[in-house]
Amino acid sequence: MNLVIDKGNTFTKVYIFDGDKITARAKFESLDVFLLDKIFKEYSIQASIYSHVGNANDENISFLNAHSTFIKFDYLTLLPIINKYNSPNTLGLDRLASVCAAFQLMPNLPVLCIDMGTCITYDFINPKAEYLGGGISPGVNMRFKALNTFTAQLPLIQPDARKPVLIGDTTENSIKSGVMNGVVQEILGTIGTYEYQHPRLQVLMCGGDLAFFDTQVKNSIFARPDLVAEGLNTILQYNVQQK
């Protein structure tokens, strides 16, 4: 079994993979060696990968390195794809992981990965398994906060899962219309532009705000909530095979 650890700014997500299948998942505010020891006692872990933003936890890395075939994921890690990004050292590791998952799930096809997180990221891999880059725009909550922060009168609004009206009849509804419908049109327009250039385009969508949009985007998209974890597992498997 493989252990995939994705340490974010707020939470650390942990996944157990049996081959390509997720058999368990958990989310922790803090992950330490005591929790890791418990995981290793419960599951037969042979290999592990650790991806992080910010500072890495050196104690966790030492534990993983001592108890498994360990890969610390960074921009120098061997990949099953060709990374043609011009500044790989500044590339978010989650973006790189998502296109590795796309390569595994949909080989020999052009794939656009859309991650609906703090930012909305667009990442494209072509049929030759070349990652070319993509785009970054403000996420949903960032847009609501910007309207509140940079104006004198507009309130801070929280998104909800209901489809926003087109014509807002209150200030709150007008903000929801502008932000939520604006994001939908941005996504549709971006997908349409990619489809024009790459007619066989496939679209994978993930991220914390996925639930707000997966039913509103009418294109043939595939919702993969664990896309980044699947990509990290693909990278781990690839590196284990190279050893």
Q: How far is CA 149 from CA 141, 175, 213, in A?
A: 12, 13, 25
C-alpha span between 118 and 11 (Å, rounded): 13
Q: What are 74-127's pLDDT values in tens digits? A: 999 999 999 999 999 999 999 999 999 999 999 999 999 999 988 999 999 999
In the chain the first and final C-alpha atoms are separated, in Å, by 17
Choice among 6, 58, 94, 214 that is catalytic? 94
pLDDT along the chain (243 residues), means of 10: 88 93 92 92 95 82 94 94 94 94 96 93 97 96 95 91 87 94 93 95 89 67 91 96 84
Q: Evaluate the CA torsion angle 223, 225, 229, 233 in order and state its sign.
A: negative
Task: Write out pLDDT tens, residues 180-196.
Answer: 999 989 999 999 999 99
Return the pLDDT at 211: 76
Domains, the chain, with CATH or none: 1-72 (3.30.420.40), 97-227 (3.30.420.40)
Give me the pLDDT at residue 218, please. 61
Nearest to 4 by CA among 50, 52, 62: 50
Q: Which of 31, 27, 72, 13 is nearest to 48 (CA)?
A: 72
Question: What percent helix, strand, coil does the chain show, rounded to 5?
Answer: 40, 25, 35
What are 94's two structure tokens?
């989650």
94 belongs to the catalytic site = yes
